Amino acid sequence: ALRSGILAALDSLRGDAGVRAIVLAGTARAFSGGADITEFGRPAQDPNLRHVISAVEDMPVPVIAAMQGVALGGGLELALGCHARVAWPAAKMGLPEVKLGLLPGAGGTQRLPRVAGVEKALSMIVTGTPIGAADAQAAGVVDLVTDGPYPAAAVAYARTVTDRRRVRDREDKLEPARTDAGLIDRVAAPLLKASGAQAPRACVESVRAAVQMPFDDGAA
């Protein structure tokens, strides 16, 4: 229902000349806690999250995520599909799928390295441990941390955003791993040392795909 609702809202705003920016906001408890695990093991229902994120990215005006509370898993992947991100001091964000024996499935392994760099992305994705707002801002995951009114402070920020560049098109933070072929393995080694599970290793290979492949191929 949430995925369909977001798409319907975007469709209603697309082409409206009076719309200069869009803010996606949640509640004090959560921007989004991610996938509904009751859907796991059932036939997939459209629209899937990848479709929703693509629609966000392709909006003709900037879309800004306003994150108060938690933004986890698919919730953070949705925020990474936005053109900018605003967080409140108590916000927590992460990709905890590895703790369920999974890996982020809606582009998080490809987009997070593009905003946070490969080292930070590996740490977050392979351990599944969330980070706070200040850490996220320092890493480049969020553009602004504010303690202003929610979500009005994000709306005020949205009025200043002019860059509609998609996260998927950013390449500069991938360059250190492209010029240093051993970087990923060096960073991953201590993260993998404590676990013999498959999921953490699959997460490393997914981040490696972000570095070595075009976005769509890495996401696949």
97 has catalytic annotation: yes
Active-site pick, 57, 97, 119, 205: 97
Looking at residue 51, what is its pLDDT? Answer: 96
Q: Which two tokens stand for residue 24?
A: 């996606």
Q: Which two tokens stand for residue 46?
A: 């459209």
For residues 157 and 31, what is the distance between their CA atoms, to the nearest angstrom? Answer: 17
Looking at residue 187, what is its pLDDT? Answer: 95
Helices and strands of the chain, counted as H and E runs: 11, 8
Looking at residue 38, what is its pLDDT? Answer: 79
Contact 77, 106 (CB under 8 A): yes
Q: Among all chains, which residue has been given the structure tokens 């925020």?
A: 79
Residue of 57, 30, 53, 186 whose CA lies nearest to 108: 53
Looking at residue 85, what is its pLDDT? Answer: 98
Directed axis angle between helix 108-116 and helix 74-81, to 10°? Answer: 60
Residues of the chain with confidence (pLDDT) below 70: none
What b/e string do you get for 88-118 counting C-beta neighbours within 10 Å, with b at 16 or more? Answer: beebbbbbbbbeeebbbbbbbbbbbbbbbbb
Active-site pick, 39, 57, 77, 205: 77
Looking at residue 102, what is its pLDDT? Answer: 92
Provide the whole-model pTM: 0.95
